[in-house]
Amino acid sequence: MDKLKMHTPDLAEENYKKLAALFPDAVTETKDENGNTVRAIDKDVLMQEINAKVVDDGQERYQFTWPDKRKAVVLANAPIAKTLRFEKEKSVGRDGTPGGTDSENIYIEGDNLDALKLLQETYLGKVKMIYIDPPYNTGNDFIYEDDFSQKASDYADNSGQTDEEGNRLVQNSESNGRFHTDWLNMLYPRLRLAKDLLSNDGVVFISIDNCEFENLTKICNEVFGAGNFVDCITWNTRVPKNDNNGLGNIHQYVLVYVKDKTINRQFTMQKDGLDDVFDLLDKLKKKNVPIPEAEDELKKLYKKKGYDRGITLYNSLDENYQPWGKINMSWPNSDTFGPTYDVLHPATHKPTKKPDRGWRWNKETFDSHLDYAHTIKRYDGSYVCGDIWFAKDENTQPSSIKYLRDVAKMLLRTVISLKSDGGVELENLFGGKSYFSNPKPTSLIELLIDSIDEHNAIFMDFFSGSATTAHAIMHLNALDGGHRQYIMVQLPEQTDAKSEAYKAGYKTICDIGEERIRRAGKKIKEETGADIDYGFRCFRVDSSNMKDVYYKPSDVKQGELDLFTDNIKEDRTPEDLLIQVMLDLGVLLSSKVEKEEIAGKKVFSVADGYLIACFDRDVTDDVVTAIARKHPFYAVFRDSSFSSDSVAANFEQIFDTYSPQTVRKVL
């Protein structure tokens, strides 16, 4: 029976173990400044093992650094003794019912650095896409300031605003001598942790503007690897902003990185104007407009809207008013030649004109697309023969036919034009009230999410703000029947006491985000009636459920041990303990949790019995046996749960008898 560690992983320790496993001869010991023996790595041995040169401290090298960067790395790797606590009253059920607990979506209130650490075991490599919209560091934004030197008690004096854990949230003005440094120290450790949560084929999108674009690119190159940079999307917001530099700024950026670029991923988007095209054709079909006239109307729409060739090429209609286009069949490579053979015209039965460099397809493929037995003559004298178009005679080269519905998507463009109407969108949800500044539009987030074509995956936003990402995911799921799940993280930053949001009862940004999800879910459900998950389970970052003695028993004097017969804090519930156990064992927070009573004791069954836990006191052999008979993968009890020493002694024997494969843990 093993004891749960009940704290986040020590990433530095894990990295050391990996290095030691690869190069055991490089592991050694040395003395620190206090004369204590500490572990060390012999850089000379390591240099020989990997056949690389070690750079001396004074030697020039290519690098990107800033003050406190090393401490930012330490901050990312350091473990924390914290947990998540379930907030049932703030949660919403899958069907939108307040207080429901069956949603698979997650909303976390708290410092995102803590949240990312708490999620390391459970969501390692499980997140398909991360989108974040961090502070742009414009001189007006508030940023997290992870202090490296001061005590928590001094934070409030420095900033005037702290969260419950004493982390500073400060307005980073450009007059600050550490203007860029503070921003880098804030974002860098969070990106390092976020990378580990991404699946191998995962992708991260990061919104930014000119102020920190260069620095963000550099730290992303370091964290994700320059080779995993995909591109930078320029978002034309359509609304000029006077930046006092003599230009009307109408753009922002979205940096795109993948976890592993060797895993091929296509980013696609729907062609602009499809809704307009198919709406028009539906109307023309209902009016039974003749095909020639309908094609003219379609071409007028193309000209009026100014769509690119990706749509305007498809200007012919079949008898069902479905648009199609003619695709050139010439060999595409100008440096080589394709196959040459005769293709007979369906009416004249003479060989048609051949492309100068040969055909795109071989003869077998071309023949498979022909259907001479069912040739259709069009109103203009041309012919449709299977999937091939022929002119009225053999003097014109034939083309293949491609329907617009089959090529509705194209590669995601690096320049996109979407109206920056996120504020109006949010105001409409809140009855015309403006409670949050400059939210991103759902259209932008939907475009990015939909570009990776993953309908059943986990998506994350750890700068959630007004929860635009959650809104976008629900809307997409309603449109295409997807089963996307989200994890939102937001610091409960206080709203200004003079603001409309505060007066309306929204005391924190989390209050606004959570209410937005509720309202957006209700609106989407009313408009679509889709059977999707409209809810979320709300969690709050809090101190560990365990007393300090659990982590530092050596600090407790022998005479004080009786004071700590139970190492769990008095105000913590069994549900609190279950959540921390799930985090420690890597069980998804979205897992189904069921409660039952066995011999008068409350027992939790998680993920259909994958984990079974009982935290009640006076647990008897009957309870242990009943749980063992259910054959869970994990069985967890409190160290002080057992009713007697004999039950504790029989514990292992009972499991060895009924479920020897069960992993047994205590806390």
| Alpha-carbon dihedral angle through residues 547, 553, 556, 557, given to the nearest 10 degrees | 150
Q: Do 375 and 422 lie in a common domain?
A: no
pLDDT at site 143: 62
450, burial (CB in 10 Å: exposed 0-12, middle 13-18, buried 19+): buried
Q: Which of 585, 584, 603, 581 is nearest to 594 (CA)?
A: 603
Is residue 59 assigned to a domain?
yes
Tally of domains within the chain: 4
Separation of alpha carbons 463 and 133, rounded Å: 6
Given 541, 571, 596, the domain boundary residue is: 541
Could you give the 3-state DSSP secondary structure of residue 595? strand
- Report yes or no on 314 lying in a domain: no
Band (pLDDT 50/70/90 cuts) for residue 149 is: very low
Domain contains 554: no
Say if residue 306's pLDDT is above 50: yes
Q: Is 494 inside a domain boundary?
A: yes
8 A C-beta contact, residue 14 and residue 124? no
Residue 454: CATH number of its domain? 3.40.50.150
Q: Do 227 and 250 belong to one domain?
A: yes
> Is the pLDDT higher at 554 or at 130?
130
* Rounded CA separation 27/46 (Å): 9
- Res. 85: pLDDT tops 90: yes
186 shares a domain with 163: yes
Does 299 reside within a domain?
no
| pLDDT score of 159 more than 60 | no
Domain shared by 199 and 130, yes or no: yes
User: What single-letter DSSP state applies at residue 336?
Assistant: S
Q: What is the mean pLDDT of the chain?
A: 89
Q: How much is the pLDDT for 142?
A: 59
Question: 461 and 570 in one domain?
Answer: no
Q: For every residue of 121-189, which 3-state class applies, written as one string?
A: HHHCCCEEEEEECCCCCCCCCEEEECCCCCCHHHHHHHHCCECCCCCEEEECCCCCCCHHHHHHHHHHH
572/521 same-domain check: no
pLDDT (0 to 100) of residue 158: 38
Query: Mean pLDDT over residues 379-401, rounded?
Result: 97
Domain end residue (candidates: 541, 571, 601) = 541
pLDDT at 152 over 80: no
pTM of this structure: 0.85
List of E strands, 284-333: 316-317, 323-327
Give the other-Cβ count within 10 Å of 230's Cβ: 18
CA angle 280, 284, 286 (to 5 degrees): 120
Q: List all residues 6 or more positions away from 522 whose beta carbon is below 8 Å from its beta carbon.
A: 96, 534
Residues 91 and 234 in one domain: yes
Whether residues 265 and 122 fall in one domain? yes
Q: What is the DSSP letter of 563?
A: G
Element (H, E) at 212: none
CA distance 96 to 86: 17
Q: How many CA atoms lie within 13 A of 172 on its CB side?
A: 24
User: Taking residues 545-568, what's their average pLDDT?
Assistant: 59
Domain residues for the domain of 358 are 330-397
